[in-house]
Each structure stands twice: as C-alpha cells, then as structure tokens.
Structure 1
C-alpha cells in the first residue's frame, strides 16, 4: 500500500470527512488491510500485525483525540452565524492541522517499523503500484482541457459546501465561481513534487532495514512538504488565504435554513464522536 496512504488513512477517517463514521471507525482494521491489497500483497502474519496496529492506535485515538474533536465542535456550534467565526478562523484551521499531525506522529513511526519488514519483491511491487497510480493521474490530467478542470473544481467545491449547508443560492455559487477563477494553479508543480517524493521514498525503502533509512521514511511521511519547491509553497499560501476569504464570505451569506443544516451536521458528528468515546 502507498506509504503515505497507510499512515494517513486512519487520520482521514478520524476527521470530519466521512459518512457512516461510527460504522467505519470501528472496522478500520479491516479497511486498512483491504486497502493494502491494492498496493502490495502482504503475508498473513504481516496483515495480522497491521490490523493489530490499527486496533491499538484506534484505542489511543478514541481515548485521547475524540474528546478534543468534541470540544472543538461544541465551540463551532456556539459561534456559527456570529463574527466569532472570522475572529477564530485561523485557530480552527491550526487546530484541525494539529489533529492531523498528532495522529500522524503517533502512527507513522510504527507503520515505518512494519514497512521495514517488507521483502525486496514486496517493495518493488509497492513502488510499481505507487508509480502506476501517479502516472494514471497525470495522464488523466493531461487529457482534461483547462476549462473542464476549472468546471470540475467548481463543482467539487460546490458539492462539498452543499453537503454541509444544503442548496446554495445563485450569489453563493457565483462566489465559488470567482474563488476558483482566482486560484493559482498548483497541478503541474504538485506532479513534479510527487515525482521527487516517490524517488526519495524509493531510496529510503532501499535502506529500510537500517535506522537511517527508517528515519528518512518517517521524515518523508511527516514532513513531505520539505520537498516542495518555493513556487509551489508560495501558491499554496496564496490559495490558503484566498480560501479563507471566500469561506468567510460564504459563512456571512448563509441563510437561517443553511445555518440550521450546518448545525445539525455538526451535532451529528459531535454525537457520533461522543458515542465512540462511550463505546470504549
């Protein structure tokens, strides 16, 4: 399985990004093992170790991290529709990033320890599948016309917002259209960065039996951005500020009906997280 995906699949499901959260959360050991088969064939012993690791980390996450999620959602619920959202926007963003990094730091070193047990044939299979996946994405990107890419991005953002607020007004959709128009493209720079990351990971995997090789793997997973070019970092920073501006405009434009839907959604996640805590 793609190393970055093994390490962060758990993290992504832990955050506010999935439906059927409780169902998948409690079955994540099986999900990770199943996903691993897409990238590398593990032995029965390796699968058992991976599933045991996920179960162990889920218990850690359930008891130490889910309460943090509940606290943050409660604060969000109390501030939706007020000026506090704009005042605390950066705090919310940094807190969500911290959730991700905390989980990654807990998980990645032990994932790397297990990856060090892969044999040469498994490593070759893993890297081949990673490269094939990346190449397919690149070819798909090249075949898609710029206007279609812009349309896809606009529809993706619109769908994502409507998932939380319900149907958007024409003015709100116009805001999203303007947002996407103003974004700086990062695609080609990201493809180049991805190539550098995969080459570095390939070299690190060749040294996976050594402490130095494992340190390199951990570094690549926890701090992949170190390989980003200054131009890519600059565009990311610009787009991040742009995102903040338009999200706050969308928040300010929400109707009472949209606010109610957003609050119901937050409440649902909060209750799911609380139930998972109490399932311990």
Structure 2
C-alpha cells in the first residue's frame, strides 16, 4: 500500500529530473531514458538554447547517477521495511514513522539538485523567464479551473472511487467491512485542493520576484531561486501543513485497520505488490 512515485510539476522546467515512474511496466525504460524524455516535458514550459539544453542534460545525468546509486537502494529498503511491518506485529507509530521517512526522499532530491538548477535558471534571458513564468501560470490556472468545475461532494465521491480502485489493486476484491473502512476514512478526509493551489501560486509568486528583480546580483539570484526550489514547506500555509498531517494520520490509521481485515489471499496479494515494487527497483538499479 505504498503510494506510487509520480511525476512532480514544479515551478521550474529544470525539475524534469523528477520524472521517475517506479510502478509501471515501462519503469526501467522511463528511468534510463530520463534525459531524452525530459526534453518533451521541458518544451511545454520553455525553449532552451543549445548551451542550456546541454547544461540541463548534464544536471539530469549527474543527478540520475547519484539517485540510482543512493536513493533507489533507500527506496528499496523502505519498501522492505514496510513489508516487514505488514507481515509482523504492526503498530500505528512504527508504520507512521516508516511512511514519513519514505516521504523524505523527494526532499533529498531537491537538496541534491537545487543549486545546479538555480545556476541554470540564472542563464535564462528575460524572454525565457517571462515564457517560463507565463506557462506555469497557465498550468495553475487550468488546474484551478478544473478544480472549480466540481463541487466538494463531487470531488469526495470521485476520490472514493479512486480509493476503492487503489486498494483493490493492492489487496484484490474488497469485502463490505473493508469498503466501509475506506468510505469512513474518505468522509473524514479533508479536501486540500484549494490549499495546494494556493501553495503553488505562492511559490510561483516567489519565483516571479526572483526572476523579475533586476537589482540583485547573480549570486543573490542563485541563492534566492535555490530557496524557492528547495524549501517547499516555506510556501505552504499553516492550514495546508495541518491538513496534510491530519490526512496522513487518517491514511496510517486506515492501513492499520485494513491490515487486520485481510484474508490469506488478500495478504498474499499485498506481498506480491511489494515484491513487484522491489523487483522493479532491482531492475532499475542494475540497469
């Protein structure tokens, strides 16, 4: 029951290095061709010149080598640890500790890459900066429009269906008790969509201030942009942070309660899913 690693949309085109998909049949292909595939994603935001493209690919290749040798083995260990908890006496505190630890890997990536990405950002012309900021704003506006097209009730109903599909993928056919647990948790889940949009806009506004400030030196520009890239929580409201924590507790409690309802066939299905993730990681690490 581990969340899939999905592509992250962030405030800089250079974040294409985060496009890592670990839970699909094409995971190895995607990971091993990251430098080539990222160009399609970057083109949605900005047109880089040849020198900048070369610099970006160097960042991606260097980061990927570090990620493959240090982070993927850590992901694998996390999955093995969670699997061990799942198959032994499971406590809420232990489970939350492991899940929180696993979630920190994304921050590790930003810690490693934030400075070279900011240095690349410093090479952008005024036209490129405007293009990048405008395209990101369009993306946020599109997300906001899509969000507002649904009522809170419609979003909660859609999320419930997604939750059923997610847990069925892991444990197979759900019984009435399991569906009731998932439904109850979904009812308590706090919709943070508006808060996430607010966060994205706040972070983009911070990037705009850096990109449009003609008074700062190159060194100051790099330092300030690297902060925008790395310090994600700095731009999150207290309401979003509290909502994230509350929803995480709900998720942990649901995993704990579902664990006690599994029959032998469902428990084997979960173990098979863990093994598939581990096998995928082994394949990527070794190739």
TM-score by length of 1: 0.89
**Residue in 1 that maps onto 2:241:** 233
Q: Displacement of 1:138 after TM fit? A: 1.0
Change (3 A) 1:74 1:3: closer
Change (3 A) 1:150 1:112: same
Q: Displacement of 1:115 after TM fit? A: 1.5
SS in structure 1 opposite 2:262? Answer: coil
Aligned: 1:266 with 2:274:
yes
Change (3 A) 1:118 1:2: farther
Aligned-pair Cα RMSD in Å: 2.4
Q: Displacement of 1:85 after TM fit? A: 5.5
Deviates more, 1:118-127 or 1:257-266: 257-266
More helix by share: 1
Measured in 2, the distance between the counterparts of 1:169 and 1:5 equals 44
Q: Displacement of 1:5 after TM fit? A: 6.0
Q: Displacement of 1:148 after TM fit? A: 1.2
Q: Displacement of 1:105 after TM fit? A: 0.8
Deviations 1:83-107 (A, max 9, x none): 2363521221232123222122112
Deviates more, 1:78-87 or 1:158-167: 78-87
Aligned: 1:60 with 2:77:
no
Runs ≥4 residues deviating over 6 A: none
**Residue in 1 that maps onto 2:89:** 83
**Residue in 1 that maps onto 2:5:** none
Aligned: 1:251 with 2:249:
no
> 1:2–1:39: 8 Å Cα contact kept in structure 2?
no
2:211 to 205, 213, 223: 205
* Runs of 5+ consecutive residues of structure 2 not aligned to the other structure: 1-7
> 1:154–1:177: 8 Å Cα contact kept in structure 2?
yes
> 2:133–2:208: 8 Å Cα contact kept in structure 1?
yes
1:36 to 33, 38, 42: 42
Q: Displacement of 1:19 after TM fit? A: 4.4
- Count of matched residue pairs: 278
Change (3 A) 1:30 1:162: farther
Change (3 A) 1:85 1:57: farther
Q: Displacement of 1:36 after TM fit? A: 0.3
**Residue in 2 that maps onto 1:131:** 137
Measured in 2, the distance between the counterparts of 1:248 and 1:163 equals 17
Deviations 1:197-249 (A, max 9, x none): 21111111224862222222222222222222222222222222122111211
Measured in 2, the distance between the counterparts of 1:51 and 1:227 equals 28
> 1:204–1:213: 8 Å Cα contact kept in structure 2?
yes
Aligned: 1:159 with 2:165:
yes
Aligned: 1:10 with 2:28:
no
Measured in 2, the distance between the counterparts of 1:2 and 1:117 equals 21
**Residue in 2 that maps onto 1:23:** 29
Measured in 2, the distance between the counterparts of 1:134 and 1:31 equals 23
Q: Displacement of 1:62 after TM fit? A: 1.3
